[in-house]
Every structure is written in C-alpha cells, then in structure tokens.
Amino acid sequence: MSATLLETRDVAKYFGNVVALKDISVAVGAGEVTCVLGDNGAGKSTFIKILSGVHRHDEGELLVEGEATHFSNPRDAKERGIATVFQDLATVPLMSIWRNFFLGSEPTKGAGPLRRIDVKGAQATMREELRKMGIDVRDADQPVGTLSGGERQAVAIARAVYFGAKVLILDEPTSALGVKQSGVVLRYIAQARDRGLGVIFITHNPHHAYPVGDRFVILNRGRLAGTWTKDEIGRDELVRQMSGGAELDALEHELRRA
C-alpha cells in the first residue's frame, strides 16, 4: 500500500504481574485507517498509551517511519508527528474555539513586550481548517463547551492535522456519541486519511470501524486475536470475530440501531 508510518512488533506491556498486552504487531501507513477493536479491558487504551508516549513498552519494538524508538513522554511522540485525541482530555470547555485550537502553539506577531497573539490570523486559520472538515464556524469566540460532542472531536482532529501530525490516534471518539454524530466523526476520520495521515481508530463498535477502516486489528484479553485487511474480511465476519459468537445476539441488537 503505502509507506509505513508507525508500527509495533511483538510489543508487550506488564503492570506488575498483570499481562496487559503481549505480542502485539500492528502497522499503519500514510493515507490508511487502522482500526483497533476489542472488548472492555482488552488492552486498547494501554496500546495507544504506548503509541502516544504515556507508557513505555516492556518488550518488542516500536518503529516510527522504520526507526526503532522509545518515547519518554507524550511531548516526544508529538514531536515525531504522532497526535493523540483523548476523548475527554482534548479541549478546554470554557475557552473559545480559536483559543482551544491554538492552545500551546499560539501564533504571535510583534516583538519584545508587544509580542502578542495574532488573534485575527488565528481566527481565520481556525475557520479555514474547520471548513476543510466541512464545519462552518458560526462564532470563533463561542466556548467549546457549547459545541456538540462530534464538533469538539472535529476541533481536536483539525488541530492535530493543522499542526503537522502524520499519525492521528483517536481513542473511542464515537463511544459517547449518537448515531448521526458518530457518522460525522467517521467523515472527519476519512478527511484526515484523504489528506495523507495515518489514522489509528480505537473503537469497540465494528459498525463504526468497518466503513472507514483499511485494516482491522482485534485485541482479546491483551493478545492479538486477528489482523485483516479490508479485502480479507467482510462486515459480518468482523462482527462475528469481535463478538466471539456468544454475545452475538446482544451485539446484533446494538448494530441494528447503529
């Protein structure tokens, strides 16, 4: 397909004697979406925390553009172009959209004591970037807390894309959203992919994963239960693999609504 941006080889993570992850090999390339699926406690969050520099892996290799790496903190990962959007910790609700968009990387003009944020420029850039995601911002000064859940995800995604992320990691961006809103976020994921980013999309909902994913990885109790590309697996088979048969009825019920 395309150049591999981020890859793990036989990565393992232990918490004391708890084996949280073992032998995990996953890759994502530019312009691809890799979906990581699994039940609660399967190790999805632990996995992305390794990718985003929150945890260090205990075994195996983490490769960024082919080069073995250990991240010592989230800043490290960010500097290598890996941006993570945590569901609840991405934006500051009381701050305006444009202030949130540029928080931590504000564009300035002027020098010395007159160095100041280029407010007009920041607002224009924010509007432009969100327009590329199909959102027309009504009011740049609107607090982010008054946006819908999906729009807030969009702000976080647009920000990551604008600040040069090569890999975008999304932890359950659709889990708290309604059906329509989930669809909106899936569109943003496709947008980011079309702009050449590698996307790692964590979800426990195969119906959200299937339409947008190029590769599917299922984790089960800390192990790799399977890896498929899109042409190797159909939607129903993905659902079956994920549910492991027993909970199929309940899952089918969920899917019918989704």
Ligand X SMILES: Nc1ncnc2c1ncn2[C@@H]1O[C@H](COP(=O)(O)OP(=O)(O)OP(=O)(O)O)[C@@H](O)[C@H]1O
Alpha helices of the chain — where are they, by DSSP H?
A: 44-51, 74-79, 97-102, 119-132, 149-162, 179-194, 206-212, 235-243, 248-257
Q: Does 43 bind ligand X (CB under 6 A)?
A: yes
Distance CA(69)–CA(196), nearest Å, equals 22
**Residue among 108, 101, 91, 168 at smallest CA distance from 130:** 101
Q: Does 45 bind Mg ion (CB under 5 A)?
A: yes
Q: Does 173 bind ligand X (CB under 6 A)?
A: no
Size of the site for other proteins (CB under 8 A): 52
Distance CA(117)–CA(120), nearest Å, equals 9
Among 42, 85, 122, 147, binds ligand X (CB under 6 A): 42
Q: Locate 101 and state its tokens.
A: 């968009």
Among 116, 178, 252, 253, binds other proteins (CB under 8 A): 116
9 binds, among ligand X, other proteins, Mg ion, none (CB under 5 to 8 A by kind): none
Q: Does 248 bind other proteins (CB under 8 A)?
A: no
**Residue among 46, 32, 34, 4 at smallest CA distance from 222:** 46
Judge whether 169 and 198 are in contact, CB under 8 Å: no
Q: Does 244 bind ligand X (CB under 6 A)?
A: no
* Residue ranges binding other proteins (CB under 8 A): 1, 31-33, 74-75, 78, 84, 86, 89-95, 99, 102-106, 108, 115-117, 119, 131-134, 136, 138-139, 141, 143, 145-149, 152, 159, 187, 190-191, 193-194, 211-212, 214, 230
